[in-house]
Each structure stands twice: as structure tokens, then as C-alpha cells.
Amino acid sequence: MINTSLAQIAKRTNASIINAKDILVNKVAIDSRLVSPGDLFIAIKGEKFNGHDYVKESQGNGASACVVSKKMDIEMSQILVKDTLVALGEIAALNREKSKAKVVAITGSTGKTTLKDMLSSILCQQFATVASTENNNNEIGVALTLLRACKKTQIIIVEMAMRGPGQISELAEMASPDIAVITNIGHSHIGVLGSIDDVYKAKAELLDCVNKKGATFINSDDKYYKALSEKSKAKVYGYGSSEKPYITAKDIIFDDFGIPSFLCSIEDKTIPITLSIPGEHNISNALGAIGVADYLGVIPENISKGLKNATYSKKRMEVIEIADVVLINDCYNANPDSMAASLKALSVYKAKRRIAVVADMLELGDFSDYLHFEVGKEIAKKPIEILITIGDNAMRIADGAGRNGFASKNIFSFNKPKQAFDTLKSILEPGDVILIKGSRAMELEQITDYLENIINKGKICR
């Protein structure tokens, strides 16, 4: 955070100051356990906690001041606001305005975290870069990312998610992006929003806030590419394989682990690329990252290096080799589009047997039965030998696969991850590759933990 006085913060948040002191703050904390001396502690009230209960602890850990919505019985300076979450956003917006950094905002139904990780790895080769950690992409995560920017920061990358209309607008107004990236428009949150058209409208809110002198990068393979392009105030650059995109890939090859290499064509340049993550769908994510990096002036060598050495947020196409078994841990979340991409990545993996462990995809509303069944139909078309489903909704995946030719003897359905693991443990053989994919609430990381523990003890691999 750039040095900011309590008076500036109070003015921005329309607040009063209790026990006013002439203090400059350059770091914000919302967790009292993570407070360092001199920090500004913001007492956020959540569903399961209230930061006001920890204000005294933050003072004990060295906080110089706090932002609260009620007067506290403490000695340190208090900025008294109506809503501390709103105040957090205002303070973040103030820091963004004081910063000279370029802001890149990324949204889309799938791929935004992976693209963010790719872009961060590239830009760090050449610029002082701040990026969202993991998937800190809501009103708190975006604000904290903006507040990590200091005077030396040159680029800020923020990932933006939404749970309903108007939320991307709020995040974009806070971040005031110079560059926008939209990965795709898909089924994610369709149960909340009602239709893919409504998903498009929600994601397109980002384009209303991008700097008109900046740039917008859109996946040209997406069916909403034209509509999104027409809505953007900034110049549009397409990336993909259709619509004669500005950035495209050719000469694509995959190694035995499904990791792609290709030549990226962008304007008059050709850049050799090898990714460090499997999946054909990640070529598109890479093209988006390359486009932004090239626009910002990153040299081709640093683009190649950044992508080759990129590390990714956990539980996203995370390849774990344990003894003679390979796990593709993609269990952070799932929707029909990301499920299809992950299953395609599994199908090209060189393996003795390919095992798909898939669970409920949530927030699909009235479309749930149909979309789960369609996933099963697609599985039946792929070189996948064993299907394990977890959850009530995923029973429709099993149904879709079985009704379309998948061998019923190789389909196993369960309610809980532990039940699925017990069967998986009994059938697992050396040379197997296992994809684990489902919505976050299904807690599929339990299976990964079980497998790592058992395999490392030598209790599998017959």
C-alpha cells in the first residue's frame, strides 16, 4: 500500500476519526493474527465471524489504527464507518488511484485463475507485479490485491468472479482496469442467473469500466465474441483459432502427459511456447496471457520463459505422481465447460487405464439433470476405462454414460468421497491415471489426501 494518512482514509470513506493521530499507514490487514506493527486493521463482519471481536488482539499485535463500524474501548485511532466492507473497497480504490501501475482485470466462466497465474509468471520476468493469490476474486480478494500495490508496483492483476448481476461492475469500478480479459462465457452460475445470455451480461459488465485508451482481450472462439467486442470501449484483440484472431497457435503437439507445445503467432512475431500444465484448453488461456504480455511490452524470450516456468494455484489440473499412479487433481471447482475440458485432457494422457472420478456440479438450477447427463454422454465417447461418480446429481453422469455405451461393470456411484475412495483403492493398478473433478462443496480433496497417504505407505499398486 502506498503511504496514506488516516485523514485521507477518513475523507474517502466519509468517516469520523476517534483518538485521531498523525499516522501514515502502508499496509492493511483483516485478520488480527496476521497484523504487523503499524498496520491498519479493518474489522470485517462475515457470516461466521466479526472482526470487531478481534480489534484488541490486532492492537496487541501492533496495529496503529483500525476501521470499525462501532466505537471500541481501545486507545488506538479508530476510523468509524457505516460498513467496514464498503470501506475496505473504498480504501482499495484510493490506493489504486494513487498508484501509477497498469491494472489488468480478468473474468470469464472458466480459466480465469489459470490465465491469471500464466500472466503473472510472464510479467514477473520484466515488471514489478502484484497479482491475486489463489482465487481471491470477490469484493474482499480484489480489494486486498489492490492494497498490496506499493509505489514501485508496475502491474496489478486482479481476477474477478461474480455470483449475480452487478457484482463485476462493483469490482471493476474499484479496480478501474486499463486492460480487460474475458476468457469465455459458459454455464457457470447458470442456476443463479437463469441463462447463458444472463451470464454474458454479467461478465460483460467489466467492459463498461475498462479504460477506453486501454485494451480488451477476448477469446475469439467463444460464441459471444462478437457481442463482447461490440460492447468494449477499448480496442479489442481476439485470441484463439477462429475469427482470424490477433493471437493464435499453430503446430500444436502434446507430450505423453498431455502438456502442449506450440508456436504462437502474434502480429509479425512467432514465439515458441511450452506450457507446464496439461490440457488443450490451456492453450487458449496461454494465448490470452501472451496477448496481454505482448501489449505491455514483454519481450518474446520472457513470454516463453514465464509460461514454461509457471506454477499454478492448487487443485487446478495439478499433476501429482505418486509411485506408479498419476493423479490429475482438478477438484477446486467444476461446471459443464470446465468438466468437458478436464475430461478431454484425461483422454489424451498416455496411461494403462484412465479413471474419471467426477462429482456434482453445483449452481446449475433447472439445467442440472440435463447438463450432468450430457457430461456422461461425452465420457462414453472418450477412451476412459473406469467412471466413478460422487453425489446425487452425478448419478445423472453415470446414467448418461451407461445409456450411451459405457460398460456398466466399470461404473461406480457413491454419495461420499470416502465411499468412492474405498472402491478406488481396491481397483487401482500401476500405470493408472486418475482425474478428480467436481464442485468445491463436494470436498474431493479428501480423495487426493487418502490416495497420497495410502500409496506412500505402499498399500496400493498391485
CATH code where residue 430 lies? 3.90.190.20
Report DSSP state, residue 126.
T
Q: Judge if 117 and 53 occupy the same domain.
A: no
359 DSSP β-pair partners: 390
Last residue of a domain, one of 58, 84, 110: 84
Counted domains in the chain? 3
Residue 91 lies in a domain: no
Q: Judge if 366 and 397 occupy the same domain.
A: yes
Residue 380 lies in a domain: yes
Q: Judge if 243 and 114 occupy the same domain.
A: yes
Q: Judge if 298 and 176 occupy the same domain.
A: yes
Q: Given this model, what pLDDT does residue 245 score?
A: 85
Q: Given this model, what pLDDT does residue 243 score?
A: 66
Q: Judge if 132 and 252 occupy the same domain.
A: yes
Listed residue (72, 91, 82) closest to 27, CA to CA: 91
* Ordered alpha helix ranges (H), 161-208: 167-175, 190-193, 196-204
Listed residue (177, 246, 191, 151) closest to 159, CA to CA: 177
Residue 144 lies in a domain: yes
Residue 183 lies in a domain: yes
Residue 461 lies in a domain: no
Q: Given this model, what pLDDT does residue 415 score?
A: 94
Helix (H) or strand (E) holding 414: strand 411-414
Distance in angstroms (rounded) separating the CA atoms of residues 106 and 157: 8
Report DSSP state, residue 314.
T
77 DSSP β-pair partners: 65
Report DSSP state, residue 25.
E
Report DSSP state, residue 188.
T
Q: Judge if 72 and 215 occupy the same domain.
A: no
Q: Judge if 70 and 179 occupy the same domain.
A: no
Q: Given this model, what pLDDT does residue 460 score?
A: 42
CATH at 199: 3.40.1190.10
Contact between 429 and 353 (Cβ < 8 Å): yes
Residue 135 lies in a domain: yes
Q: Which residues contact 391 (CB under 8 A, 6 or more apart)?
A: 359, 360, 415, 438, 442
Residues in the chain: 462
Residue 90 lies in a domain: no
Q: Judge if 447 and 346 occupy the same domain.
A: yes
CATH at 59: 3.40.1390.10
Q: Judge if 299 and 358 occupy the same domain.
A: no
Q: Judge if 266 and 397 occupy the same domain.
A: no
pLDDT mean for each 10 residues of the chain (462 residues): 97 96 95 97 94 97 97 96 98 98 97 96 98 90 98 98 93 98 93 93 97 97 96 96 87 93 94 96 97 98 98 89 88 93 94 96 94 97 97 97 97 94 91 94 89 62 34
Residue 410 lies in a domain: yes
Strand order in the sheet with 16-18: 16-18, 77-80, 65-68, 40-42, 28-29
User: Domain span at residue 58?
Assistant: 4-84
Q: Given this model, what pLDDT does residue 461 score?
A: 37
Listed residue (347, 318, 346, 344) closest to 331, CA to CA: 318
Q: Which residues contact 234 (CB under 8 A, 6 or more apart)?
A: 179, 180, 207, 210, 211, 212, 213, 214, 215, 216
Last residue of a domain, one of 286, 308, 330: 308
Last residue of a domain, one of 273, 308, 343: 308
Q: Judge if 247 and 332 occupy the same domain.
A: no
The string over 315-342, giving b where at least 16 C-beta atoms fall within 10 Å of a residue's C-beta and e elsewhere, is bbbbbeebeebbbbbbbbbbbbbbbbbb
Q: Judge if 258 and 374 occupy the same domain.
A: no
